[in-house]
Amino acid sequence: MLEKTFTSKLVKLGFPIALHNLFFVLGNSITTFMTGRLGELPIAAAGISNQFFFILLLVQFGISSGGSIFTAQFWGKGKKDDVLRTLGVTLLLGFIAGGIFLVIAVGFPNLFLGIFTNDKEAAELAAGLMRIAGFSFIFTPVINTYGHILRTTGVVKLPMFASITGVFLNILLGYGLIFGKLGMPGMGVYGAAAANLTARVFECILLLMFVYRLKTPLAAPLRKIFAFDMVFFRKVLRRVLPVTSNELLWALGITAYAAVFARMGTSAYAAITIKDTTENLLFVPFNGITNALGILVGNTIGLGKPEKAQDYVRQTFLLNVILAGILGIILFTLRKPIISLFNLSPKTRTLALNIITILSAAIWIRTSNFIFFIGMMRSGGDTRFAYLMDAGAMWTIGVPLALAGAFVFRLPAHLVYLLVMIEETIKFFISVWRFRSQRWIHDLTSA
């Protein structure tokens, strides 16, 4: 059964996070559409340069979400000074990662671009985009770290407001700088990069301004934020590294899947891209639910109530199955109208319909794994097991099955995608076992 009090807390915390994610997805889609109006070369160059930012974003997500595992439990135990020290460690790690990516993007972009393309014109254009975007990498750790840790203290609307403002500014500046509208110079695809950089700087300044103006729990002098010793630093690092490594391996795995479908032909890659776009939108409410669960689980473990944390996961899993089942039915019913929004060949249309059909049946497993992995294991401090399970399943089951299906058995794209879902099914049963064992619960606030 679902407790009304718990469901209310979950919605109160999860709705702003879901709304934040929705605007982020829509903002990226609109910017991509505007860039696509310039032609194939600009959209290809933007796509390649965005891969570099995508990897950085996942690294930063790993660092900030790893730090938030501690802050959720520290906040539940009332240890505000330890929350601030964890903020300091996480910011330091984020700046180190951002600095490395900045040096590569600005000074040595071809080291990365050579992996993706042999087209000199596309590589040159992408290198210019990376040099502009690279300067945003020193602002990304501030935005991600403060956003994640504010949420663990119950402040969820502030990062949402700053992010949505940044998204709207990015769209407005992108329109003006890409096409030379609103009295702005027309910079083409470079305008999109300049708009993104400006929006990132503005979002960072706005977020920090409100953190201190509104006297949030993170409004503290820098000497207090960075007042950690090496013992505390190593303690946080031991939990952050598996999460960050997991995000890196996951990003590489997603890149491997994309390469497999791309090698299968344009129709297969177009069909899987449509699936990805649809799935990103479907995941918006589950992103909110999962992150809200993570906050509640961390706070509850910090309070010394592991049984309640276990019950919170059980209730959220039940809610997830109901919601995912409803959305799966809706997706299956609307799959043809969704596909009709795209100008596709008959072959691509058939592949896309089959893949969307599989997604509609498997969405509850995908979202359940998301809840167990992020909302339960990571928030419970079970980062090493989560890392081994997620990355291990992807690279020992998912990627080999995709390669075999595509290049050994020469299966069509929808059956290759079905093989990939075997990885998700195995992870689901392992996650259920881990949940029942209660071995995922770790109190990280002890000395």
Token readout for 130 is: 């990376």
Q: Answer whether residue 236 is part of any domain.
A: no
Half-sphere exposure of 355 (CA within 13 A, CB side): 28
Section 43-47 average pLDDT:
70
Residues 297 and 356 reside in one and the same domain? yes
Q: Answer whether residue 233 is part of any domain.
A: no
Residues 125 and 265 reside in one and the same domain? no
Q: Answer whether residue 248 is part of any domain.
A: yes
Section 398-404 average pLDDT:
95
Domain limits for position 131: 1-228
Residues 51 and 166 reside in one and the same domain? yes
Residue 221 has pLDDT above 60, yes or no: yes
Token readout for 217 is: 């729990």
What is the length of the chain?
Answer: 447
Residue 165 has pLDDT above 80, yes or no: yes
Between 94-98, 180-184, 263-267, the lowest mean confidence (pLDDT) is in 263-267
Token readout for 438 is: 């209660």
- Give φ, ψ of 410 to 5 degrees: 55, 45
pLDDT (tens digit per residue) in 310-339: 999 999 999 999 999 999 999 999 999 988
Say whether pTM exceeds 0.75. yes
**In this structure, are residues 113 and 126 in contact, taking their beta carbons and an 8 Å threshold?**
yes
Predicted local distance difference test score (pLDDT) of residue 61: 86
Token readout for 376 is: 């339960």
Q: How many domains does the chain contain in total?
A: 2
pLDDT (tens digit per residue) in 258-299: 778 877 877 787 788 788 878 888 998 999 999 899 989 988
Final residue belonging to a domain, choices 199, 228, 257: 228
Average pLDDT, the chain: 88
Measured CA to CA, the distance from residue 210 to residue 220 in angstroms comes to 13
Between 37-51, 96-110, 190-204, 232-246, the lowest mean confidence (pLDDT) is in 37-51
Measured CA to CA, the distance from residue 438 to residue 406 in angstroms comes to 39
Predicted local distance difference test score (pLDDT) of residue 82: 93
DSSP-assigned letters across all residues of 31-49: HHHHHHTT-HHHHHHHHHH
For 303-363, strand residue ranges (E) read: none
Between 129-133, 268-272, 386-390, 423-427, the lowest mean confidence (pLDDT) is in 268-272
Q: Residue 302: which of 82, 15, 131 has the closest Cα?
A: 82
**In this structure, are residues 126 and 109 in contact, taking their beta carbons and an 8 Å threshold?**
yes
Residue scoring higher pLDDT (445 or 154):
154
Residues 8 and 132 reside in one and the same domain? yes
Q: Which amino acid is at 284?
A: V
Residues 64 and 22 reside in one and the same domain? yes
Predicted local distance difference test score (pLDDT) of residue 16: 85
Residues 253 and 280 reside in one and the same domain? yes
CA–CA distance from 241 to each of 59, 85, 129, 236, 291 (Å)?
Answer: 10, 17, 30, 9, 20
Q: Answer whether residue 388 is part of any domain.
A: yes
Residues 206 and 253 reside in one and the same domain? no
Between 24-33, 203-212, 216-225, 395-404, the lowest mean confidence (pLDDT) is in 24-33
Residues 118 and 249 reside in one and the same domain? no
Predicted local distance difference test score (pLDDT) of residue 447: 47
Q: Residue 239: which of 45, 380, 413 has the closest Cα?
A: 380
Residues 177 and 312 reside in one and the same domain? no
Measured CA to CA, the distance from residue 97 to residue 90 in angstroms comes to 11
**Percentage of residues of the chain with pLDDT beyond 90:** 53
Residues 85 and 30 reside in one and the same domain? yes
Measured CA to CA, the distance from residue 418 to residue 97 in angstroms comes to 36
Q: Answer whether residue 114 is part of any domain.
A: yes
**What distance lies between CA 257 and its chain's CA centroid?**
17
Section 361-369 average pLDDT:
96
pLDDT (tens digit per residue) in 98-141: 999 999 999 988 887 776 566 677 778 888 989 998 999 999 99
Residue 432 has pLDDT above 80, yes or no: yes
Q: Answer whether residue 237 is part of any domain.
A: no
pLDDT (tens digit per residue) in 335-349: 999 888 777 788 889
Final residue belonging to a domain, choices 228, 255, 271: 228
Residues 307 and 439 reside in one and the same domain? yes
Section 227-255 average pLDDT:
86
Q: Which amino acid is at 339?
A: I
Q: Answer whether residue 329 is part of any domain.
A: yes
Final residue belonging to a domain, choices 171, 195, 228: 228
Measured CA to CA, the distance from residue 309 to residue 148 in angstroms comes to 20
Residue 48 has pLDDT above 80, yes or no: no
Residue 295 contacts by C-beta under 8 Å, 6 or more apart in sequence?
A: 13, 72, 151, 152, 154, 379
Q: Answer whether residue 265 is part of any domain.
A: yes
Measured CA to CA, the distance from residue 39 to residue 37 in angstroms comes to 6
Predicted local distance difference test score (pLDDT) of residue 117: 60
pLDDT tier at 39 (50, 70, 90 boundaries)?
A: low
Predicted local distance difference test score (pLDDT) of residue 44: 66
Residues 79 and 203 reside in one and the same domain? yes
Measured CA to CA, the distance from residue 322 to residue 177 in angstroms comes to 44
